[in-house]
Structure 1
């Protein structure tokens, strides 16, 4: 049995090597992403492991099937950039890591909000200029706010637990409600109702093409004046141009964004000294009431370890038994 992993970071390598030694299975580590140019490297392997926000090659699964690949295992949750139908058509199982650390992402989403509410970035910029005045940066407190949580899976529930610790009121929307939360009466019947009630809206849902630009100009117009938006889910959920308009008008008081709809050429790349030719992203970053981070909400030691080990275990299970609990393209 042989496996190959793409987009392997330095912090992942020890966990890959530890698992490889423990299981006596060869795992070849490739730092480059899986692209048309690197795809030939999968030859001679039984499983492919990958992690990238950008698109995978269109011919990936046809090529993989011809080379005897049995499983394509991604080291993250979201499968919106994976052609599951094509994988199934080529008899290749696709697995994900559905819960590497929900707490990591939930904690980070609250971290973004706290920085916005307490104007941390403004104070930091002033301090760098040795300006230590308070004026103009009065903060707000979470405990008297209504938090609107869209998506109540593992991450959404972890966020709800944290916000309750602050004493905030919770309203939630999910087309597939959690029975325990439903019994507590926190769900509203529609996203529109949540928009009208929430002071802060935090997104914890997967993404599909039907959800593209779910948060658009119309949605923003239905929200409270001075709403805060937090997105640690997927960039395509928010129409960035509409968000910028809302931020400039004051309709949206602030946004904490760990993901961006056109992030693939930007995030996890060293662009120091280079011109960023994305006017929308550049305009977004110039706004004082926005915090942008490069899709790192998941990035803790616990999460990295779990993402590597669970993806490897799933791939091993598929090869040995033909199935795994985390297969996402099962009939």
Structure 2
């Protein structure tokens, strides 16, 4: 099939070109994001491939349908940026990559926790400047601490397994009970108990209308003083302004983010020579107990290979009219 990729970086092209040797599709890579102004560039393609921050609104889908697009292939798990009802109305099938490397995201979660706790990023910079003082670098043992996980999908379960290996007490909340989690020694609780008892709260749930701004002023008020808050799921699960107030009051002592609710204009681009206009984001950067990475939790060689493999398999299944196991419907 002819496939147009939007928001494609060099690493996307490399991984897809390599895997496509086994599929033989015609790939066209565009650096520009998909939006109402760029949708016309899909003309002639039977399928378009997009990422988490592309705009796939009703307007965009109408333009894609006019261009002859029949398939929207998401090279990611999340699909909250897609108007699924509009896609169905235009006869555009939507497929995704539900799980590419849950280990990558779970391991990055621990990287954020350990870095914030032991302040290795600050220690690294000190040593390079010849400063060997330990003042301000005091951490705590993870062993014996209580960690609350919001969400027990593949990533949440792997995170729980890693944390149990550290000797942590793990609490978890999910709308679905998990026998596998209980077998690991995870205690299934309600959100109020999780907030009240957790030294670390880590988010691993999808973004839905129910989870939008789940972490708000009310939720933060229920948390332990000095809590560490980690988000490697979706940015809008956190009410950023409420979290900033929590940081200022020192209710939140540590904040680790790999996602941000307004990341669409920031992440995946080199803005080092520009003035960042997002005042809320810049306020976050002013705190020395905040660690932000640019949506890189998924970014491993293993995950990139799996994303390309599953995406191209989804497209081949569509072309060959096979069952679409990774289809997303309204």
1:106 aligns to 2:106 (yes or no): yes
Query: Which residue does the alignment assign to 1:137?
Result: 137
Q: Which residue of 2 aligns with 1:161?
A: 161
User: 1:206 aligns to what?
Assistant: 206
Query: Hey, what's the Cα distance between the residues in 2 that align with 1:93 and 1:192?
Result: 39
Counterpart of 2:250 in structure 1 is: 250
Q: Is the 8 A contact 1:203 1:233 kept in 2?
A: yes
Residue 225 of structure 2 aligns with which residue? 225
2:147 alignment partner, SS class = strand
Cα distance, 1:219 vs. partner? 0.5
Matched residue SS, 2:21:
helix
Shift of 1:62: 2.2
Residue equivalent to 1:313: 313
- What is the CA-CA distance between 1:187 and the residue it aligns to? 4.2
Moved more, 20-29 or 273-282: 20-29
Give secondary structure in 2 for the equivalent of 1:264.
Answer: helix
Hey, what does 1:49 align to over in structure 2?
Answer: 49
User: Which consecutive segments of 4 or more residues in structure 1 shift more than 4 A?
Assistant: 182-185
Task: For residue 129 of structure 1, report the CA deviation from its aligned partner.
Answer: 3.4
Q: Secondary structure at the match of 2:242?
A: helix
Q: Is the Cα–Cα contact under 8 Å of residues 195 and 222 in structure 2 kept in the other structure?
A: yes
Q: How far apart, in 1, do the equivalents of 2:37 and 2:115 lie?
A: 41
The CA RMSD measured in Å over matched residues stands at 1.7
CA distance in 2, matches of 1:188, 1:225: 22
SS in 1 for 2:22: helix
Q: Residues 103-152 of structure 1, C-alpha deviation per residue, up to 9 Å, x if partnerless? A: 00000000000011112233234334322111232111111111101111
Deviates more, 1:187-196 or 1:60-69: 60-69
Partner of 1:33 in structure 2?
33
Gaps of 5+ in 1: none
Distance 1:71 1:323, change over 3 A: farther
Per the alignment, in what secondary structure is the counterpart of residue 315 of structure 1? helix
- Per-residue deviation, 1:322: 5.3
List alignment gaps of at least 5 residues for structure 2. none
Match of 2:265 in 1: 265
> Contact conserved, 2:6 with 2:29, CA < 8 A, in 1?
yes
Deviation at 1:262, TM superposition (A): 1.1
Corresponding residue for residue 285 of structure 2: 285
Across the two proteins, how many residue pairs are aligned to each other? 330
CA drift of 1:20 comes to 3.4
Contact 1:109 1:230 survives alignment (8 Å): yes
Q: Which moved more, 1:179-188 or 1:34-43?
A: 179-188
Residues 261-270 or 127-136, more deviating: 127-136
Kept in 1: contact 2:5–2:28 (CA 8 A):
yes
**Larger deviation, residues 321-330 vs 190-199:** 321-330
- Contact 2:147–2:170 (Cα < 8 Å) also in 1: yes
Measure the CA separation in 1 of the matches of 2:178 and 2:53: 28
Distance 1:68 1:276 in 2: 37
Please state how far the C-alpha of 1:94 moved relative to its aligned partner. Answer: 0.8
Which secondary structure does the structure 1 equivalent of 2:3 belong to?
Answer: strand
Name the TM-score, length of structure 1 as normaliser.
Answer: 0.94
* SS of residue in 2 equivalent to 1:201: strand
Tell me which residue corresponds to 2:121: 121
Equivalent residue, structure 1, for 2:94: 94
Q: Larger deviation: 132-141 or 15-24?
A: 15-24
CA separation in 1, counterparts of 2:218 and 2:278? 24
Alpha-carbon distance between aligned partners in 2 of 1:71 and 1:187, rounded to the nearest angstrom:
42
Q: TM-score, length-normalised on structure 2?
A: 0.95
